[in-house]
């Protein structure tokens, strides 16, 4: 932009400027990025502040927030700005100077907005939510919030069990946010037009009575003497027993983000990403994302091509990501990658496909995407080390498949293979984990033979499994940190001792402790809120960052805060749940039939696999009839639309 407008109304910029000059990487707090939007406060009816509760470098690239920012700002009666978590050095200066949490776009105080929408893709952002509320000068507890405070709305995958943060949020939104955020805006606008009827409570009631928004305060939770939940029931006649998730259909009609913000500060993920489809029905039993985003809805090749071209022009980025839960599964992925690779051949544009499918087809795609680039590393995710383990988790890939795939990769010039695994899966034994070492050995052996060189590597990356709500493993006992650590060390020693292959195999792992806390937060209920608050009061924040996360602080807080309820950390994590137990999220409807999930859990224990409903008949997971949705996939037979580009005349 050529001119700087005079400061927008309510801007705190003048007070911020001197503080910013004293902190590290100040640019992360000030916005002004290309494609950011500043609107006049008075010109709109509804004002959103969106947040991803982590540092800018992690939060800015988030696709969910980018989509909502654009969709909301496209409406002339809505304004959306953004805010992220603030590092301790800046926070200290803001608290000293009495400057509250502000937005990047117009530097307005967060507390002035109608809505504070927070996106949670991980539960480890909960302490940052508390800090965000506090630094905004807002009431920590929803119950204490005044009429003039924003309503706090949680969205993103973690919102499928928002019970641990129920005390701090006003509303949770399950599922896709495109239409949901517009519906919320409509309801707020009407409520304002009706003279804010019923005040804050009145607005929340309007939202809750649709059945599409979860307002925790309108549900009471009763407990049994043994600590389990007895019942969760609405305390208002207008409010339904179940709250349903949102599912966006016809993704071709929603080609967002079209012009995402181009960060000036460095971030973790600097590429223009196109979601080529949403949802996944592969049915991996550990994967919450796959379960809660059904059914599969593809974008067609025409839309993908148009989004890529438009996105490149709007951002000036050079890297394109074709994003989804399993990108190689798009019904026309070969066409999409070939045609895009053709179109951008010879330019500096690079394409990437975060894909985890383990088959030869994947190698063809990878080769296509690296036509003139270097073939350095390929990534596969077998997730389970032994064949038995992979049956339990429904990751249908045999060891021979994997080895053949790897052989194909090494013969076409790839030199490094990265394999992702999980440790602590249900029914897992030491042997299952040690099978990873055997697999890695076979990979190196095969690679050396296929490539004719010893210069190849296999990196094994392994993390502790955390059971998640709305998955067949929601009933499972989580493995203790000791179990995880024991198995990881065993694996490490076994690989190290291997004279022949040990040096060619790298092992990357994390200890089991953070996973235990993630487990507490994932399957927790409202009582866990006190633990989160206690941890935050004792200085806990940025829990996703090793250097800030304190296991000891979490354990101590859990011990003390849960004791009055007769439950503890183990009760939430390493305890297996039974069929009859009321789970904290049972009243939140992801569409999955509870009995189907239970049967799938039993099938897992029996090591029985289930097919993908895209290619076999529906196996009645419940989502499509319950949500009135359908699988939307190609092939469409379409091709990339020709580019209509007029080069600017600069001569």
Partner 1 sequence: MAQRQPPVQQAPPAQRLRLRYAKRGPGRFTSHRDFGRALERALRRAEIPMAYSSGFSPHPRISYANAAPTSAASEAEYVELALAEVCDPQKVAAALNDVLPHGFVILDVAEGRPESLGDLLQVSDWKMTLAGAQPGVLGQAASRLLDRDEYTVERLTKNGMRTFDVRAAVLILRAIDDQTLALRSVHQTPLVRPDDVVTALRQLDARVPAQALLTRLAQGPLVGERIGDPLRESPVMQP
Residue ranges binding partner 1 (CB under 8 A):
1-4, 13, 17-18, 20-22, 25-27, 29-34, 36, 262, 264-266, 312-318, 348, 370, 372, 374-375, 413, 647-651
Distance CA 296, CA 116 (A): 30
* Nearby residues of 193 by Cβ (< 8 Å), 6 or more positions away: none
Q: Which does 348 bind (CB under 5 to 8 A by kind): ligand B12, partner 1, ligand SF4, none?
A: partner 1
Q: Which residues ranging from 304 to 333 are in contact with ligand B12 (CB under 6 A)?
A: 323-325
Contact between 269 and ligand B12 by CB under 6 A: the answer reads yes
**Which of 148, 147, 95, 152 shows the shortest CA–CA distance to 118?**
152
The three-class DSSP label of residue 422 is strand
Q: Which does 27 bind (CB under 5 to 8 A by kind): ligand B12, ligand SF4, partner 1, none?
A: partner 1
Contact between 281 and ligand SF4 by CB under 6 A: the answer reads yes
Q: Which does 315 bind (CB under 5 to 8 A by kind): partner 1, ligand B12, ligand SF4, none?
A: partner 1
- Token look-up 């509320």 returns 133
Contact between 289 and ligand B12 by CB under 6 A: the answer reads yes
**Which of 22, 51, 179 shows the shortest CA–CA distance to 110?**
51
Q: Which does 619 bind (CB under 5 to 8 A by kind): partner 1, ligand SF4, ligand B12, none?
A: ligand SF4
Q: Which does 325 bind (CB under 5 to 8 A by kind): ligand B12, ligand SF4, partner 1, none?
A: ligand B12
Closest separation between CB of residue 11 and ligand B12, Å?
24
Q: What share of the chain is helix, strand, coil (3-state, %, to 5)?
A: 40, 15, 45
Q: Which one of residues 78, 130, 261, 287 is an interface residue with ligand B12 (CB under 6 A)?
A: 287
Closest separation between CB of residue 113 and partner 1, Å?
20
Q: Which does 92 bind (CB under 5 to 8 A by kind): ligand B12, partner 1, ligand SF4, none?
A: none
Are the CB atoms for 414 and 453 separated by under 8 Å?
A: no
Q: Which stretch binds ligand B12 (CB under 6 A): 284-292, 342-350, 535-543, 578-586?
A: 284-292
- Residue closer to ligand SF4, measured from CB, 389 or 590: 590
Distance CA 118, CA 210 (A): 21
Q: Which does 613 bind (CB under 5 to 8 A by kind): ligand SF4, ligand B12, partner 1, none?
A: ligand SF4
- Residue closer to ligand SF4, measured from CB, 77 or 615: 615
* Nearby residues of 396 by Cβ (< 8 Å), 6 or more positions away: 390, 609
**Which of 261, 253, 251, 245 shows the shortest CA–CA distance to 62?**
261
Closest separation between CB of residue 397 and ligand SF4, Å?
20
- Residue closer to ligand B12, measured from CB, 410 or 465: 465
Dihedral angle computed from the Cα positions of residues 305, 309, 315 and 321, in that order, rounded to the nearest 10 degrees: 30
Distance CA 457, CA 443 (A): 9
Q: Which does 176 bind (CB under 5 to 8 A by kind): partner 1, ligand SF4, ligand B12, none?
A: ligand B12
Contact between 177 and ligand B12 by CB under 6 A: the answer reads yes
Q: Which does 294 bind (CB under 5 to 8 A by kind): ligand SF4, ligand B12, partner 1, none?
A: ligand SF4
Distance CA 644, CA 640 (A): 12
Contact between 294 and ligand SF4 by CB under 6 A: the answer reads yes
Give strand pairing partners of 391. Answer: none
Contact between 518 and ligand B12 by CB under 6 A: the answer reads no
Contact between 288 and ligand SF4 by CB under 6 A: the answer reads no
Size of the chain in residues: 651
**Which of 305, 319, 293, 336 shows the shortest CA–CA distance to 64?**
293
Are the CB atoms for 382 and 358 separated by under 8 Å?
A: yes
Distance CA 415, CA 598 (A): 42
Distance CA 127, CA 175 (A): 22
Write the binding mask 598 to 637 for ligand SF4: x where contact by CB under 6 A, - elsewhere.
Answer: ---------------x----xxxxxxx------x------
Cα distances (Å, whole numbers) of residue 513 to 127, 286, 535, 549: 17, 19, 16, 10
Are the CB atoms for 86 and 94 separated by under 8 Å?
A: yes
Q: Which does 275 bind (CB under 5 to 8 A by kind): ligand SF4, ligand B12, partner 1, none?
A: ligand B12
Query: Rule CB under 6 A: which residues touch ligand SF4?
Result: 281, 294-295, 613, 618-624, 631
């Amino acid at each position: 932009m050529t001119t700087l407008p005079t400061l927008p109304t309510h801007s705190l910029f003048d007070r911020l400027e001197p503080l910013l000059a004293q902190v590290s990487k100040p640019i992360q707090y000030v916005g002004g990025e290309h494609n950011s939007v500043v609107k006049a406060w008075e010109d709109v009816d509804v004002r959103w502040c969106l947040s991803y509760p982590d540092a800018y470098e992690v939060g800015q690239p988030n696709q969910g927030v980018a989509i909502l920012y654009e969709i909301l700002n496209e409406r002339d009666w809505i304004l959306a700005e953004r805010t992220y978590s603030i590092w301790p050095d800046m926070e200290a200066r803001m608290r000293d100077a009495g400057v509250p949490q502000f937005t990047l776009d117009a530097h307005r105080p967060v507390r002035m907005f109608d809505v504070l929408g927070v996106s949670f893709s991980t539960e480890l952002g909960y302490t940052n939510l508390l800090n965000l509320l506090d630094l905004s000068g807002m009431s920590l507890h929803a119950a204490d919030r005044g009429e003039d405070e924003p309503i706090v709305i949680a969205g993103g995958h973690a919102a499928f069990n928002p019970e641990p943060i129920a005390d701090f949020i006003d509303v949770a939104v399950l599922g896709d946010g495109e239409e949901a955020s517009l519906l919320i805006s409509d309801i707020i606008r009407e409520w304002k037009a009706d003279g804010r009827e019923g005040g804050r409570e009145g607005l929340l009631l309007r939202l809750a009575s649709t059945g599409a928004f979860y307002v925790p305060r309108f549900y009471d939770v009763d407990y049994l003497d043994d600590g389990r939940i007895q019942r969760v029931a609405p305390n208002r006649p207008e409010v339904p027993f179940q709250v349903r998730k949102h599912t966006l259909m016809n993704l071709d009609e929603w080609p967002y983000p079209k012009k995402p913000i181009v960060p000036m500060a460095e971030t973790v993920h600097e590429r223009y990403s196109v979601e080529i489809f949403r949802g996944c029905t592969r049915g991996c039993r550990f994967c919450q994302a796959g379960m809660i985003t059904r059914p599969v809805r593809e974008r067609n090749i025409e839309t993908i091509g148009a989004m890529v071209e438009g996105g490149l022009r709007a951002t000036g980025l050079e890297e394109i990501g074709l994003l989804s839960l399993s990108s190689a599964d798009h019904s026309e992925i070969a066409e999409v990658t070939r045609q895009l690779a053709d179109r951008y051949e010879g330019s500096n544009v690079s394409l990437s496909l975060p894909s985890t499918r383990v088959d030869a087809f994947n190698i063809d795609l990878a080769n296509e995407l690296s036509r003139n680039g270097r073939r350095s590393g390929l990534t596969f995710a077998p997730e389970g080390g032994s064949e038995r383990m992979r049956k339990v988790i429904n990751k249908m890939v045999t060891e021979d498949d994997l080895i053949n795939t790897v052989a194909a990769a090494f013969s076409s010039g790839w030199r490094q293979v990265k394999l992702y695994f999980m440790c602590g899966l249900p029914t897992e034994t030491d042997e299952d984990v040690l099978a990873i070492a055997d697999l890695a050995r076979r990979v190196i052996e095969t690679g050396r033979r296929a490539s004719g060189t010893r210069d190849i590597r296999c990196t094994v990356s392994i993390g502790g499994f955390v059971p998640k709500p709305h998955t067949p493993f929601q009933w499972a006992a989580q493995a203790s940190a000791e179990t995880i650590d024991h198995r990881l060390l065993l694996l490490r020693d076994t690989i190290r001792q291997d004279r022949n292959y040990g040096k060619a195999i790298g092992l990357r792992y994390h200890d089991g402790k953070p996973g235990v806390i993630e487990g507490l937060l994932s399957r927790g209920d409202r009582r866990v809120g006190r633990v989160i608050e206690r941890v935050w009061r004792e200085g806990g924040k940025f829990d996703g960052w090793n250097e800030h996360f304190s296991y000891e602080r979490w354990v101590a807080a859990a011990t003390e805060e849960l004791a009055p309820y007769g439950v503890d950390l183990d009760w939430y994590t390493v305890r297996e749940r039974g069929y009859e137990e009321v789970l904290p999220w049972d009243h939140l409807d992801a569409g999955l039939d509870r009995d189907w999930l239970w049967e799938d859990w039993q099938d897992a224990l029996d090591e029985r696999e289930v097919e993908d409903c895209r290619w076999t008949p529906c196996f009645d997971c419940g989502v499509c009839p319950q949500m009135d949705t359908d699988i939307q996939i190609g092939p469409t037979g379409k091709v990339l639309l020709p580019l209509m580009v007029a080069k600017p005349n600069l001569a």
